[in-house]
Chain A
Amino acid sequence: MNDRAAADLDELESRTIYILREAFFSVAPLCMLWSMGKDSTALLWMARKAFLGKVPFPVALLDTGMELPEVYRFRDEISAAWDLDLRNEVCPPESGVDQTLPPGARAAARKTAGLRALIAREQYRGIIVGIRRDEQAIRAKERVFSRRARDGGWDVKGQPPELWDVFVSEIEDGMHLRIHPLLDWTEVDIWRYIKRESIPVVPLYFARDGRRYRSLGEKNITFPIESSAATLDEIIAELATTRAPERAGRSMDHETESAFELLRLGGYM
């Protein structure tokens, strides 16, 4: 991987802040999803920058009860230190979703159902989500302001055009927007930014006993990778040489060829 200059990080941060402000000043009510992972935590940091220290919208966690204990500890510390308006949305139990789905997809289905319930209850018109294009080929096809139908579905083949940075915030009642301020970022951009800004992250990302989590998900369906990267610099160096995909340890992506596409069409992040 080639070096990307600090100017590139500035440019990425500038656009993300612009998008966050466009969302806040043109979409209401608005909410941001926070998985406590590196991406949404970096995004939360940029929301603090955009609004001068205080995140002006609620921050929701879609809680399956299956996150690792370190993740819950991180949630409690950060939400207190950063004075967040945290909404812990308990997702419906696994018994409530389609039992024919493979295990990874079942967890995703629980989160999708939790999100749908949250939107229905709070009447949110905008949900800010920290997904990136380079994570997954289907996510690469996203718009920044992306419309969702009444049932939460994503009409990927009927997406309206999006020109330059002039976003369309107008939607019909009952629909909502997914707002994606991190689409342009790559995995290594996020790590470099976390280092530059000294943003706290869940310690599970750093190697212990030869293993670390590269991507955090539910404990039954996410697995650590072999790694000796125990610092931010080592993680950045590791990413410069690895060709293993970031979400290799996330089983939900790989159960069938179309697994992830079907999850997203149904309303998953």
Chain B
Amino acid sequence: MTRIVAAGHVDHGKSTIIARLLHDTGSLPDGKVDELQRASASRGVPFEWSFALDALQSERDQAVTVETTQMLLHLPQRDVLLIDAPGHREFLRNMVTGASSADAAMIVVDAAQGVAEQTLRHALFLQLLGITQAIVVVNKMDLAGYAREPFEAIRHEMAERLRSLNVRAGAFVPAVGRDGDNLLTRSSKMSWYDGKTVAEALAELRAPVPQKSAELRVMVQGVLRRGQSRTIVGRVASGVLKEGLDVSLWPSGRTAKIARIERWPDRGGDATVRAGAPVAFAIDEPYYVERGDIVSGTSGGPALVSRLRVRLLWLAGYALRPGQHLRLKVGTRTAHVELLSIERAIDVQTLRERPEGEAAHGDVIDATFRSREVIAVDDFATSPALGRFILLDGTDIVGGGTIQPETIVERTPANVVAVDHLLDRDSRAWRNGHRGAVVWLTGLPASGKSTIAMSVERRLFENGYQVYVLDGDNMRSGLCSDLTFSHSDRSENIRRVAEVAALFADAGFIVIAAFISPYRKDRDDARRAAGERFYEVHVAADVATCERRDPKGHYRKARAGEILNFSGVSDVYEEPEAPELTLDTAAQPLEESVATLLRFVEDTLAISARHGAPA
């Protein structure tokens, strides 16, 4: 059955149209009209159709819809479910609750007042919640003299607006809800109109067809244990599940076979479970499966990500800012997330973009989250059930939205099967949201290596990266405490640093190594140890500039002969020939070098696009 939400500006007559449709189609029970008569009279108002839906005392007393409600409408063609949703902005949470359960929308616009802000706001919310089809009722045509021109003007404007939101408009109908004009039968007062009635237009709206042909996705709700047997129970979100099928389990990446599908009562027949249906099954391997896991085919699985690019509606009373920690629930999986950045926030009151980095209650926001755990997701268009989420702060729901295609950097390849003792590099990268790497800063003493390394480490850490700085202080004091500053010991020092850095990179870390490392050969050896994950960064400043800075007085001591083999003074410094990046710290302030390196690391190593561009 199609579920249709009525949306539109407050007082444009949604509840009246719904109640009148219910009445004219015989969908209201006996005695209801008498009850409404009494309720209206007791409040000293003319007969009020909307009281059929606005059943709460406070709704009737104040003549405003507060809470969303649903009623079955028996159209001559077929039944549909109508959802009334409040238009008043205070009750936004109730509006989106009603709209989220709908397949399509009926947007009501007052003919005399025209398209209002609220109308556009609702259209934006509908699109955000995944609704792609609508009809538009231009109501209260009596107040516009039943004339064609105001109707055409509204139709033109709304058609344009809906097109820009990718919402398909099925029909535009001029109507008078209170009198029933063009609701069920064509009105003689608007003979110029020869299109569909509201009832005909509603009957043509259809629920989206379940995606039987789509890739298999099963959301695991839990595991039932009875004696020795363990049965996985869940819902087939898309595709088809059958016995004997080879499947992949996510996020573990293991593969297994569907040993049997369990049904109660078991009436025999074909054990095939289709999209939308509940399922209970056992697999042929003793793997640990838990609530929140996803089952897919062995190819075409979901994306495993720890960075999510989303569009969301913010419902909390406080402002949303980067650094906010929340829980994100997608399907049956709950993950801890942190907001990394707000790409864009639309203030739905003004429909304008807010200044950067700000977002308030009711805003529609494009944002990037990082999750603590790697999660299996799809973008909303691919699989609605795994592509939409809610946000929780404590016990409060503070937002909801959809996962954008930019999140899906890479589908899980069929050949990546992570086993406990054999985690590969890609699995670690997926969990962290970035690849492991060695970022090697080389340069003269006092060129700014350590300062840059520490600042970038801090910024990366705050942005959710696994990062660690190796420098003379932490290496020379322990692992390399037996080494001097002779030429051969300096080489040995760099060799050990390079090996440690490569191990850190293997473990998924971004290592920032800050060493003078004056000899080209040593740096080339370090590159070999880390392989393709090595990035050489030349922190370039001439000797004169460094010597002018000389924060620790080392240059002075070197000139005085108190320090021997001092790079740039009493020993050579071999500049890199083809570094991946050069930071000119003589010409630009350190802050600028920090920003440049930070951008370089994020652009090179993050596996999900952070700024909206597909990687």
Binding site for B on A (CB under 8 A): 1-2, 4, 8, 10-11, 14, 17-18, 21-22, 24-26, 48-54, 56, 133-134, 137-138, 140-141, 143, 156-157, 159-166, 168, 170-172, 183-184, 186, 243-246, 248, 257-258, 261
B60, closest chain A residue (CB): A257
**Which residues of B, 315-359, contact A by the 8 Å Cβ criterion?**
315, 329-332
Task: Please determine whether A248 and B31 come into contact, CB atoms closer than 8 angstroms.
Answer: yes
CA distance A133 to B66 in the complex (A): 17
Residues of A within 8 A of B374 (CB): none
Task: Please determine whether B315 and A161 come into contact, CB atoms closer than 8 angstroms.
Answer: yes
Is B470 an interface residue, CB under 8 A from the partner?
Answer: no
Is B212 an interface residue, CB under 8 A from the partner?
Answer: no
Residues of A within 8 A of B38 (CB): 257
B396, closest chain A residue (CB): A160
Task: Please determine whether B395 and A137 come into contact, CB atoms closer than 8 angstroms.
Answer: no
Given contacts A25-B221, A164-B400, A170-B395, 11 further A-B contacts (CB under 8 A): A18-B235, A51-B224, A51-B233, A52-B231, A56-B224, A141-B69, A156-B67, A159-B67, A166-B400, A184-B70, A257-B42
Is B96 an interface residue, CB under 8 A from the partner?
Answer: yes
A-B pairs with beta carbons under 8 Å apart, 22 shown: A14-B276, A21-B221, A21-B234, A22-B332, A49-B278, A50-B233, A56-B224, A134-B71, A140-B70, A157-B67, A159-B93, A161-B100, A162-B397, A163-B97, A163-B400, A166-B388, A168-B390, A168-B392, A243-B29, A245-B29, A258-B57, A261-B57
CA distance A258 to B280 in the complex (A): 44
Residues of B within 8 A of A141 (CB): 55-56, 67-69
CA distance A160 to B392 in the complex (A): 11
CA distance A163 to B129 in the complex (A): 9
Task: Please determine whether A140 and B222 come into contact, CB atoms closer than 8 angstroms.
Answer: no
Task: Please determine whether B395 and A52 come into contact, CB atoms closer than 8 angstroms.
Answer: no
Residues of B within 8 A of A165 (CB): 385
B397 touches which of A25, A52, A133, A161 (Cβ 8 Å): A161
CA distance A134 to B29 in the complex (A): 10
Is B79 an interface residue, CB under 8 A from the partner?
Answer: yes
A262, closest chain B residue (CB): B57
Task: Please determine whether B29 and A48 come into contact, CB atoms closer than 8 angstroms.
Answer: no
**Which residues of B, 237-287, contact A by the 8 Å Cβ criterion?**
262-265, 276-278, 280
B278 touches which of A21, A137, A243 (Cβ 8 Å): A21
Task: Please determine whether B53 and A137 come into contact, CB atoms closer than 8 angstroms.
Answer: yes
A261 touches which of B55, B78, B280 (Cβ 8 Å): B55
Task: Please determine whether A164 and B101 come into contact, CB atoms closer than 8 angstroms.
Answer: yes
CA distance A48 to B96 in the complex (A): 33
Residues of A within 8 A of B29 (CB): 243-246
Residues of B within 8 A of A170 (CB): 392, 394-395
CA distance A261 to B400 in the complex (A): 30
CA distance A235 to B264 in the complex (A): 27
**Which residues of B, 7-33, contact A by the 8 Å Cβ criterion?**
26, 28-32
CA distance A258 to B60 in the complex (A): 11
CA distance A96 to B311 in the complex (A): 54
A198, closest chain B residue (CB): B265
Residues of B within 8 A of A184 (CB): 70, 81
- The minimal Cβ–Cβ distance linking A191 to chain B, given in whole angstroms, is 15
CA distance A159 to B392 in the complex (A): 15
CA distance A184 to B79 in the complex (A): 13
A260, closest chain B residue (CB): B55
Given contacts A4-B79, A52-B224, A257-B39, contact A162 B67 (CB under 8 A): no
Task: Please determine whether A25 and B278 come into contact, CB atoms closer than 8 angstroms.
Answer: no
CA distance A24 to B280 in the complex (A): 15
Task: Please determine whether B278 and A18 come into contact, CB atoms closer than 8 angstroms.
Answer: yes
Task: Please determine whether B30 and A157 come into contact, CB atoms closer than 8 angstroms.
Answer: no
Is B389 an interface residue, CB under 8 A from the partner?
Answer: yes
B68, closest chain A residue (CB): A141
What are the interface flags for B53-87 relative to A under an 8 Å C-beta threshold, 1 for contact and 0 otherwise?
10111100000001111111011001101000000
Is B52 an interface residue, CB under 8 A from the partner?
Answer: yes
- The minimal Cβ–Cβ distance linking B380 to chain A, given in whole angstroms, is 11
